Amino acid sequence: MDKLLIEGGARLSGEIAVSGAKNAALPILCTALLTAEPVTYTNVPQLKDIGTLLALLAQMGVKVERAGDTVTLDASGLDNPVAPYDMVKTMRASILVLGPLVARCGEARVSLPGGCAIGARPVDQHIKGLQAMGAEVRVEHGYVHATVPRLKGARLFTDMVTVTGTENLMMAAVLADGVTVIENAAREPEVLDLANCLVAMGAQISGAGSDVIRIRGVERLHGATHRIMPDRIETGTYLCAAAATGGSVRLTGTSSCYLDAVIDKLMDAGCEVVSERDAIRLSAPSRLNAVSLRTAPYPAFPTDMQAQFMAINCVANGVAMIRETIFEN
């Protein structure tokens, strides 16, 4: 597809089923690397990044079965703990295989990631955490090469709040010898969803969703079935589309509990938002009020909703200021 042709000026109304969260599905699919038993995931969104990750896992020796929004992964044949550049370059989240591979295989060779080039987003917090857990880590020729007989539990403090760093280190720690404590951990709902999946597989984790996560390592994990949480950014985007056009929308298969900061701003703009069981309804006025906001780590306003509110402010009454604090430039 080379372009999208959009005929604007229409009031957007209707009912939409929200997909599973990409930012939850990507790390959660990597949990299959931690066990030799099959793991089934439901509500998996059908997106290019998901396909790229599944292709990467298959290249490592993981058996992949996909039917609609259900994916079953069997890593009993895992024999190639390498994530090559030609796979990783298209998706930054591919770095999430590093922690699970080191934990289960005792080694990993993962290309430094590419993907959406927003800001620097270094992986030094991932590397520093693995080193604190006893891994020998070298960065050579664009690859992170990590080896260790078995990871050891450790007290980890991230210099910055990092979602993928928290997820990578949490997955590494579930098979480590001893207790690992991650301080200054990311609090995003996707981190909590990953922890819930790992617990279903036999991991011992407490504190996920707070800034201190405690993991007691176990000898092995087992298979499980896990449903991916709804995508809060997709939810927020549809709400903004209806709001910007003076429309009304009902979103099903989602929840307002992860979107307090976004919903507060929509209501400040003049929208009526009603939370139902597994659904959200929004009705917008004919003209919105401009709203100022500042992005920050969860539970504050999410950076991935910044652009949508910039569009809303373009068609709203008044003047507003948006401050981006997550990504530089």
Which tens digit of pLDDT belongs to each residue from 299-312? 999 999 999 999 99
Average pLDDT rounded to a whole number, residues 27-32: 99
Q: What is the mean pLDDT of residues 162-184?
A: 98
Where are the strands (E) in the chain, listed by range? 13-17, 39-42, 63-67, 70-74, 82-83, 107-111, 136-140, 143-147, 155-157, 179-183, 204-206, 212-216, 225-227, 248-252, 272-276, 279-283, 288-289, 293-294, 316-317, 322-323
Strands 39-42, 225-227: pairing kind? parallel
pLDDT tens digit sequence for 220-234: 999 999 999 999 999
Mean pLDDT of the chain: 95
Catalytic residue, chosen from 30, 105, 116, 314, is: 116
Angle CA(138)–CA(147)–CA(164) in degrees, nearest 5? Answer: 75
Region 199-210: mean pLDDT is: 99
- Confidence at residue 297, expressed as pLDDT on a 0 to 100 scale: 93
Q: Report pTM.
A: 0.95
CB burial of residue 159 (10 Å; 0-12, 13-18, 19+): exposed
The token pair that represents 69 in the structure block = 């929004």
Give the domains, in start order, of the chain with CATH numbers: 13-18+230-323 (3.65.10.10), 22-227 (3.65.10.10)
Give residue 329's pLDDT.
Answer: 67
Q: What tens digit of pLDDT does each residue of 62-84 get?
A: 999 999 999 999 999 999 999 99
The CA–CA distances, whole Å, from 134 to 31, 116, 125, 151, 206 equal 21, 31, 15, 6, 22
End-to-end CA distance of the chain: 29
Check pLDDT > 60 for residue 115: no
Q: Which pLDDT does position 1 carry in this prediction?
A: 65
Q: How much is the average pLDDT of 145-155?
A: 98
Question: Does the pLDDT at position 89 exceed 90?
Answer: no
Rounded-to-integer distance, Cα 267 and Cα 12, Å: 18
% of the chain exceeding 70 in pLDDT: 97
User: pLDDT of 34-54, one tens digit each?
Assistant: 999 999 999 999 999 999 999
pLDDT value for 197 = 99
- Whether residue 132 is predicted with pLDDT greater than 80 in this model: the reply is yes
Per-residue pLDDT reduced to its tens digit, 310-320: 999 999 999 99
Q: How far apart are CA 9 and CA 243, in angstroms?
A: 13
Question: Is 116 considered catalytic here?
Answer: yes
Residue whose pair of structure tokens reads 């927003």 in the numeric block:
118
Report pLDDT for 323: 97
pLDDT(16) > 90: yes
Q: In the structure, what pLDDT confidence band is assigned to residue 4 with cuts at 50, 70 and 90? A: very high
